[in-house]
Amino acid sequence: MESLTELVQFMQPSQRLDLKKIALTHVLGLTGTEEGKCAILSVDDLLTALFHLTADESLALAKDAVLALINLTADESGAIKVYNTSREMQPVTMYSLFHIQLVRNFVLLQAYELIATAISHIINENSNLADPWSMVLSNLTREESIAYGTLDILDENPALMTQLIKAFTKLQYNKNKAKLDYLGPIFCNLTQTHRGRELLCRSKCNLLDKILPFSTYEESIIRRGGVIGILKNICFDPLYHEIILREPDDILNVILYPLCGPEEFTDEENELLPMELQYLPDTKTREEDPGLRKMLLECLLQLCATRKSREHLRSKGVYEILREYHKWEQQEGRHKDCLLACENVVDILIKKEEEILVDNYKTIEVSKDMKEKFIQEDEEYLKDPL
């Protein structure tokens, strides 16, 4: 602890470059271990020094400072600590300056706009630090309270969200080859909240429609996983089911397309399917990541909540698509989690509404004993080998 505190004086903006580099290299190395991260997070002055170094004139030094923040915010407690410390920084009075050791190496402290700094780098097409800053913001916004803080900033300046969407949807937006794939998880994290879902779904700029095409972006699982995560968050909120199941079936197609393969359907079955999912080529493959396949199936399960939505899904051939998907998952995908998720949807869609006798599943009160029974049954299912 004492040695870390001593490093602070060498990490001040006015220090010699070589001293700053040595100190920061040591700190960055410590962020690679849990013990090191805990030690750093316990020294507020060290975090403050890191904040200042993210804007250092040396790009290499600034990048290392941001990389340290990525590691420090990788888990919930670290993200909250870093965020709160940035907000709690207070100006230093002239009186207190005389009581700070090595005062000539310190700068006046001010509140550090952590979220705003990250956003400014992400939307700056010339930034060399856009990708690492997007990773910091992705880590931070996983915490719901910080997601709300980010939305506060976006609400204050609506143009920022439009610019973030542009940075995400325009490939090669950044002139220094930053990929900005982590904007996907950032948007996903924001849709944990009702305000985030409203921002994407009710926007006059059709923000959701602009993001959805990247659900099949093969070059980055981070990017397409973020988009599929957005869909999942929206599907878990019944307020947006009508938007998801709107005509034309563009959003439903986004959910179903990654689950479709090259299998042939009868003419009658093809007539049920949305036009974009009919007569797919022999080269059509399914989403390769089982975690993302499961998320898509969970989207469909949430859409089965009401009778109106169930009938819509049946009319679009969702059962027929999942019938073929289940065969493929058994033989090739071979992931029990995905099979279980598929069977949960099929078990509902295969039934007639006269058998279900419930308009909205979400209104049913399930006892604690029954919940535990269902969980146990699922666990037993997952234990059995394929």
Range of the domain at 293: 258-385
Q: Comparing 88 with 58, which gets the higher pLDDT?
A: 58
**Which residues, 6+ apart, have CB-to-CB distance to 154 below 8 Å?**
160, 161, 164, 199
Distance CA 193, CA 204 (A): 19
Does residue 83 contact residue 72 with C-beta atoms inside 8 Å? Answer: no
Q: What pTM does this model have?
A: 0.91
Report pLDDT for 366.
77
Does residue 85 contact residue 48 with C-beta atoms inside 8 Å? Answer: yes
7, amino acid identity: L
Q: What are the pLDDT digits (tens) for 149-187?
A: 999 999 999 999 999 999 999 999 999 999 999 999 999
Q: What are the pLDDT digits (tens) for 285-342?
A: 999 999 999 999 999 999 999 999 999 999 999 999 999 999 999 999 999 999 999 9
CA angle, 328 then 277 then 182, to 5°: 80
State yes or no: pLDDT of 67 exceeds 90: yes
Does the N-terminal peptide bond of residue 248 adopt cis geometry, omega within 30 degrees of 0? yes
- Identify the residue whose tokens are 């939305």: 151
Three-class SS state of 306: strand
State yes or no: pLDDT of 261 exceeds 90: yes
Mean pLDDT of 125-129: 98
Q: Comparing 163 with 2, which gets the higher pLDDT?
A: 163
Closest CA relative to residue 253, chosen from 218, 278, 285: 278
State yes or no: pLDDT of 253 exceeds 90: yes
Report pLDDT for 95.
36
222 C-beta neighbours (distance < 10 Å), count = 17
The overall longest dimension of the chain from CA atoms, in Å, is 84
Report pLDDT for 102.
39
Distance CA 188, CA 292 (A): 13
Q: What are the pLDDT digits (tens) for 349-380?
A: 999 999 998 999 888 887 777 777 777 877 77
Report pLDDT for 379.
75
Closest CA relative to residue 189, chosen from 79, 315, 39: 79
- Identify the residue whose tokens are 């036009």: 275
Q: Comparing 112 with 148, which gets the higher pLDDT?
A: 148
Residue 23 lies in a domain: no
Report pLDDT for 357.
86
Report pLDDT for 385.
63
310 C-beta neighbours (distance < 10 Å), count = 20
The whole-chain average pLDDT of the chain stands at 91
Closest CA relative to residue 185, chosen from 152, 214, 218, 153: 214
Residue 338 lies in a domain: yes
Distance CA 46, CA 10 (A): 10
How far from chain centre, in Å, is Cα 196?
12
| Angle, helices 130-141/114-123, rounded to nearest 10 degrees | 140
State yes or no: pLDDT of 101 exceeds 70: no
- Of 67-76, 87-96, 169-178, which range is least confident? 87-96
Report pLDDT for 43.
95
- Identify the residue whose tokens are 């220094």: 176
Return the percentage of the chain with pLDDT > 70, whole number: 93
Q: Phi-psi region for residue 15, left (φ > 0), alpha (ψ -120 to 50) or beta? A: beta
Q: Comparing 251 with 362, which gets the higher pLDDT?
A: 251
Q: Comparing 243 with 375, which gets the higher pLDDT?
A: 243
Closest CA relative to residue 231, chosen from 246, 212, 249, 218: 212
Report the domain count for the chain: 1
State yes or no: pLDDT of 202 exceeds 90: no
